Amino acid sequence: MSAPNLSIAPGPDSVVHLFDVTVRRGPAVLLDAIRWNVDADERWVILGPNGAGKTTLLQIAAAQLHPTSGRAHVLGSRLGAVALAEIRPLIGLSSAALAARVPPQETARNVVVSAGYGVLGRWREQYDELDFGRADELLDAMGVAQLADRRYGTLSEGERKRVLAARALMTDPELLLLDEPAAGLDLGGREDLLRRLSVLAEHPAAPATVLVTHHVEEIPTAFSHVLLLREGRIVAAGPIEQTLTEAALSDTFAMPLHLEQRDGRYFAHATD
- Cα(243)–Cα(259) distance, integer angstroms: 12
Question: What are the residues whose beta carbons fall under 8 Å from the beta carbon of 120, sequence distance 6 or more?
Answer: 98, 101, 102, 103, 106, 111, 114
Please indicate, yes or no, if residue 223 is contained in any of the structural domains.
yes
Q: Tell me: the pLDDT tens digits for 239-249?
A: 999 999 999 99
Number of domains the chain is built from: 1
Residue 9 predicted with pLDDT over 90: no
Q: Does 2 score more than 70 pLDDT?
A: no
Longest alpha-carbon distance in the chain: 60
- 66 inside domain: yes
Q: Using 50, 70 and 90 to split pLDDT, how confident is the model at 84?
A: confident
* pLDDT of 95 strictly over 90: no
**pLDDT at res. 189:** 87
Query: Is 100 exposed, middle or buried (CB count within 10 Å of its CB: 0-12, 13-18, 19+)?
Result: exposed
The yes-or-no verdict on residue 6 having pLDDT over 80 is no
Residue 4 lies in a domain: no
Confidence band, pLDDT 50/70/90 cuts, at residue 97: confident
pLDDT for the residue 252: 97
Residue 7 inside a domain? The answer is no
Contact 227, 221 (CB under 8 A): no
pLDDT given for residue 4 in this prediction: 66
Arithmetic mean of pLDDT, 133-139: 95
Helices (H), 77-123: 96-101, 108-113
- 222-249: average pLDDT: 96
User: Shortest CA distance to 237 belongs to which of 248, 228, 245, 246?
Assistant: 228
The whole-number pLDDT of residue 211 equals 96
Q: Is the pLDDT of residue 8 over 80?
A: no
The yes-or-no verdict on residue 238 having pLDDT over 80 is yes
Phi, psi of 16 (to 5 degrees): -130, 130
Does the pLDDT of residue 36 top 90, yes or no? yes
Tell me what pLDDT residue 7 has.
72
Q: What is the pLDDT of residue 3?
A: 55
Does 3 fall in a domain? Answer: no
Within a domain: residue 6? Answer: no
**What does the pLDDT look like over 100-119, one tens digit per residue?**
889 999 999 999 998 887 77
pLDDT computed for residue 5 by the predictor:
67
Q: How confident is the model at residue 177 (pLDDT cuts 50, 70, 90)?
A: very high
Closest CA to 31 of 78, 73, 84, 68: 68
- Whole-angstrom distance, CA of residue 118 vs CA of residue 111: 10
pLDDT over 90 (residue 67): yes
Give the CATH number, domain containing residue 151. 3.40.50.300
17 vs 158 pLDDT, higher one:
17
Best-predicted range by mean pLDDT among 3-7, 9-13, 99-103? Answer: 99-103
In this structure, is residue 257 part of a structural domain?
yes
Range of the domain at 196: 14-270
Specify if 8 maps to a domain: no
Average pLDDT, the chain: 91
Q: What is the pLDDT of residue 16?
A: 97
Q: Is 141 exposed, middle or buried (0-12, 13-18, 19+ CB in 10 A)?
A: middle
